[in-house]
Structure 1
Amino acid sequence: MANSTNKPVKIGLVGLGKIAVDQHIPAIRANPNLELVAGCSPHARPEGVVGYSDMQAMLAAHPEIEALAICTPPQVRHRIAKEALAAGRHVFLEKPPAATLGEAEALRDFAAERGVTLLASWHSRFAPAVGATRDWIAQRALKSIHVVWKENVRQWHPGQAWIFAPGGMGVFDPGINALSILTRIVGDTVVVKKADLHIPVNCDAPIEVGMDMVTEGGVPVRADFDFLQENLQTWSIFVEAEDGGKLALSMGGTILEIDGKPVMQEPEREYPGLYAHFHELIASGASDADFSPLRIVADAFMLGKRIAAPAYVE
């Protein structure tokens, strides 16, 4: 169901937590093709946003809403997204798109049946240096890739117990951002071979992961994720080519160095790019539902070795 008018697409937010306040609300308001109508959350009420307790109440009060951005924890996202799609609304799924690969695929199929747009958003793919990295890789045979994604869970997810609950993914919640970039830049299927999952004894999801992968073309890929990084946060991907060339994509994709020399440093603008993409999809009646990063996480949980880690204390 494409939007054929020149009027802004009217959007509602489901979930009004930190990511909605920090990223979604500013990105929507900065886009002249979009209009933020209202939001819903059991408790949160950001300033300047008309709020409701749940999605049904919001849609009843604002039937003009055409699209919904779902920013809830992943454990409840499938049910809410299916209700939104059934109501004929286009859906923007915050990452990860669902708690399981099966739920994500079911949503993709249901959106196609209903004829509405579904965006499985991978915001890190819209980091400014990702495209240039993809171009550099496309011109070379690769020797190895090393992903280092380390951040402080207490800084980025304060008080959010869901992240270590079943379906919360633990350190894979930020790590999947790295995997979304990886699957974008290599242009090849990435297969998990080994994963060490360090899970706190009082949690159900890992706080640290070491993972060995390989592309279908035979390029070895190492990933190191840590949720207890202090001081400088690390969001980097290092690539070495067979000809000796080296590339470093750092700070989540905003800084690019080639052979030790900086070639790009741009401000973060991922969510504005994502919402521009969402608008284009709605206008053309298309969807973008690539689940390859989530599949890697699922494979890691399937064959990963569980290693007991010290209890996590907020």
Structure 2
Amino acid sequence: MSPLRLGLVGVGKIARDQHVPSIEATSGITLTAAASRSATIEGAANFASLIDMLEGARIDAVALCTPPQVRHALALQALRAGKHVLLEKPPGATLSEMDDLVAAARDAGVTLFATWHSRFAPAVEPARDYLKDKRVLRAVITWKEDVRRWHPGQDWIWEPGGLGVFDPGINALSIATRILPKPFFLTGGTLETPENRQAPIAARLSFTDADGLDLFADFDWRQEGPQTWDIEVELSGGHGLKLSGGGKTLHIDGEKRIDAPDAEYRGIYRHFVDLVASGRSDVDVSPLRHVADAFMLGRRETVAAFHDETAAH
């Protein structure tokens, strides 16, 4: 079977750091073309727009690494052109537009893959397997990082649809929705929004499930120094599980079971190749739904202005 010929749209930090090397390391797919208004990828045919790429390159699939606010229109163009589509997280700016894309992919008979890269961290599936028949009593998500380190000068993340601190926080929610044995839902929360921004810089959320789960999430984009990406789960009988490092390390009852290097995006592209080969799509919007619920139910608090000095460089 010939490798899947991929066109990459949006040549920014995440594309260069993760997508390009992961595509190169994955069999069954090859980076054929790229579309960007201001950047190029060596060894690929480069275009100024997706439309130009669709007209000028022989490709089978498109990976969209643009900000989520513009992704729906681009995905729709690619799907209607008969291309398989991979969406960076979050898959879109709204839940309703995702319904539209699912229908468009079905009508075109092509694959649509809404990626959640943190679900491909090495300890996530083992954690899911361990918890699948357990009664979870309590869980705490602590997801704190430095926005200046990970999104230097990227103003789009502070605009409506950019999600603010939920850009990393949705990674934690993507893991939680994967590993916890029952669906959970929001009961309340607080969103801290800088006075000069449209999106929150911190969020504290409470969730429960049909059995009375006590789930608390603490997201913060102001943490300097070591970064924190932990999920701790308390079970009956004094047992417990901890995922740390964003899903790279797993402890069960205090014993380290897994500590493996990051290969999330390689997992994404392996799964994409398999989806296309089998004629399937994979679109789970539950992490995005939890974020939408937070914006609907969360109490707003205005905090000090945030200024990104890296934007001037």
Q: TM-score range by the shorter chain?
A: over 0.9
Partner of 1:306: 300
Shift of 1:108: 1.1
Shift of 1:46: 3.6
Aligned residue runs from structure 1 range 108-187, under 5 A: 108-187=102-181
Structure 1 residue identity aligned to 2:46: G
| 1:86-120 Cα deviation digits (max 9, x unpaired) | 11100000000000111112111211111110000
Partner of 2:76: 82
Is the CA contact 2:133–2:181 (under 8 Å) kept in the aligned structure 1?
no
Structure 2 residue identity aligned to 1:165: E
Instruction: Measure the CA separation in 1 of the matches of 2:181 and 2:19.
Output: 28
Moved more, 51-60 or 245-254: 51-60
1:297 matched to 2:295? The reply is no
Aligned residue runs from structure 1 range 116-265, under 5 A: 116-265=110-259
**RMSD of equivalent CA atoms:** 1.0
Is the CA contact 2:34–2:41 (under 8 Å) kept in the aligned structure 1?
no
Instruction: Measure the CA separation in 1 of the matches of 2:174 and 2:55.
Output: 35
How many residues matched? 308
Shift of 1:50: 3.0
Shift of 1:57: 1.1
1:41 matched to 2:23? The reply is no
Structure 2 residue identity aligned to 1:144: R
> What secondary structure sits across from 2:206 in the alignment?
strand
> What secondary structure sits across from 2:237 in the alignment?
coil
1:25 matched to 2:20? The reply is yes
Partner of 1:56: 51
| 1:174-225 Cα deviation digits (max 9, x unpaired) | 0000000000001322201101000001111100000001123321110000
Shift of 1:13: 0.2
Shift of 1:298: 0.4
Shift of 1:81: 0.5
Shift of 1:49: 3.6
Instruction: Measure the CA separation in 2 of the matches of 1:305 and 1:104.
Output: 26
> What secondary structure sits across from 1:191 in the alignment?
strand
Structure 1 residue identity aligned to 2:60: E
Is the CA contact 1:190–1:296 (under 8 Å) kept in the aligned structure 2?
no
Instruction: Measure the CA separation in 2 of the matches of 1:237 and 1:88.
Output: 40
Instruction: Measure the CA separation in 2 of the matches of 1:216 and 1:270.
Output: 31
Instruction: Measure the CA separation in 1 of the matches of 2:18 and 2:180.
Output: 27
Instruction: Measure the CA separation in 1 of the matches of 2:43 and 2:305.
Output: 39
1:8 matched to 2:11? The reply is no
> What secondary structure sits across from 2:89 in the alignment?
coil
Structure 2 residue identity aligned to 1:266: A
Structure 1 residue identity aligned to 2:62: L
Instruction: Measure the CA separation in 2 of the matches of 1:190 and 1:261.
Output: 27
Is the CA contact 1:45–1:51 (under 8 Å) kept in the aligned structure 2?
yes
> What secondary structure sits across from 2:280 in the alignment?
coil
> What secondary structure sits across from 2:282 in the alignment?
coil
| 1:133-159 Cα deviation digits (max 9, x unpaired) | 111212321110100111110000001
Moved more, 150-159 or 211-220: 211-220
Instruction: Measure the CA separation in 1 of the matches of 2:45 and 2:222.
Output: 36
Is the CA contact 2:192–2:200 (under 8 Å) kept in the aligned structure 1?
yes
Partner of 1:3: none
Instruction: Measure the CA separation in 2 of the matches of 1:48 and 1:228.
Output: 38
| 1:161-186 Cα deviation digits (max 9, x unpaired) | 00000110000000000000000001
Q: Percent identity?
A: 50
Per the normalisation by structure 1, the TM-score is: 0.96
| 1:243-263 Cα deviation digits (max 9, x unpaired) | 111111000100111122211
Moved more, 200-209 or 134-143: 134-143
Could you list the runs of 5+ residues in structure 1 that have no partner in the other structure? Answer: 1-5
Per the normalisation by structure 2, the TM-score is: 0.96
